[in-house]
Amino acid sequence: MSRLKDSAIHEFGRLAGTADEDLAQAALLIPLLEFPQLDATPYLAKLDAMGAAAATRLAARGLDPRTSTAHALVAEFNGYLFEEQGFSGNRERYDDPRNSFLNEVLERRTGIPITLALVYLEVARRAGVPIVGVNFPGHFLLRSPSRHSAPGFREDLIIDPFHGGALLSESDCRRLLQKHIGADAAFDPTLLTPATKPQILTRMLLNLKHIYVRMRSFPQAHDVTRMLLAVDPAALTELRDRGLLAYHLRDFSGALRDLQHYLQLASSEPGDTEATSDHEQIWEHVKTLRRRVAALN
């Protein structure tokens, strides 16, 4: 049933929890879902080469990441990544799983906001350009600290990697939030807080899980929940979903184990009406699974 080896899951969890800023090594384990023999080495080398080329381009323009304004650095870096290298958002096939695989994004030069942001972050880090990810609802963004502000750019720059590195104002962010969340969504500046490495990797995996479930690609979706639990073993929703996906895959023992564990942990947390309804549905699954497992013994 499972496509990913336990060793790959363990390594993913280990890399996600390291204190360094490297995202690429962990991200390049995600494509093992579809490319089990993938060698990450050439893709890491490609990122290294792109970082060196970006640094050379900045130096040729007389820009120093330590002293130049964020606006000047971002404008030049955008020119390198989106014009010279040709990266762009994949609007035509947004839900293509390949948009979530870093190797495919590097080869095809197209992806979704979070994977384009990951390329941006990794190349910028190698070039010495300070950029952080922003786990904005509905649309992943980037942020460049304006330590040396140019006139008119006194605050950090908010960058949209899906739209060619467009710079967003606070009003743009409000509109983006309302587009993805709803007209009544209230904008809060804390939505632009820098994302952590586990948050970025988790968001990549959640996007992919939703795509696989819509495609009814349950073996892959099941493995994605395993990766999510490797990042956060306390993620109750993923424990529940791993059990439900195991049920779809007729792994009744695995499903029973996960769903019983989920109910045990969830019962200790304060719930609401929706949570109570969910627990009742899971309990019905558990009763059915107990009968099925008993019949197999």
pLDDT of res. 270: 61
Under the banding of pLDDT at 50, 70 and 90, the label for residue 152 is very low
Three-state DSSP state, 38: coil
Provide mean pLDDT across the span 53-72. Answer: 95
Residues 6+ apart with CB under 8 A from 73: 58, 63, 65, 129, 144
Residues 187 and 243 in one domain: no
Position 173 pLDDT exceeds 90: yes
Residues 162 and 284 in one domain: no
Residues 109 and 15 in one domain: yes
Three-state DSSP state, 4: coil
Q: Within a 10 A sphere around the Cβ of 215, how many other Cβ atoms?
A: 12
Residues 6+ apart with CB under 8 A from 93: 99
Compare 269 and 215 and report the one with higher pLDDT.
215
Encoded tokens for 3: 């496509």
| End-of-domain residue from the set 169, 192, 215 | 192
Mean pLDDT of the chain: 92
Residues 247 and 145 in one domain: no
Residues 111 and 41 in one domain: yes
Position 149 pLDDT exceeds 60: no
pLDDT tens readout for residues 7-51:
999 999 999 999 999 999 999 999 999 999 999 999 999 999 999
d(CA 175, CA 160): 13
Under the banding of pLDDT at 50, 70 and 90, the label for residue 274 is low
The total of structural domains in the chain comes to 2
Residues 254 and 179 in one domain: no
pLDDT of res. 153: 43
Least confident among 43-52, 116-125, 175-184, 219-228: 175-184
The conformational region for residue 287 under phi > 0 = left, psi -120 to 50 = alpha, else beta, is alpha
pLDDT tens readout for residues 112-121:
999 999 999 9
d(CA 56, CA 234): 44
pLDDT of res. 275: 61
* Domain span holding position 150: 6-192
Provide mean pLDDT across the span 262-270. Answer: 81
Residues 101 and 169 in one domain: yes
Residues 169 and 41 in one domain: yes
Position 242 pLDDT exceeds 90: yes
Residues 13 and 156 in one domain: yes
pLDDT of res. 84: 97
227 lies in some domain: no
d(CA 126, CA 247): 44
Position 260 pLDDT exceeds 60: yes
Residues 159 and 14 in one domain: yes
Provide mean pLDDT across the span 200-214. Answer: 97
181 lies in some domain: yes
244 lies in some domain: yes
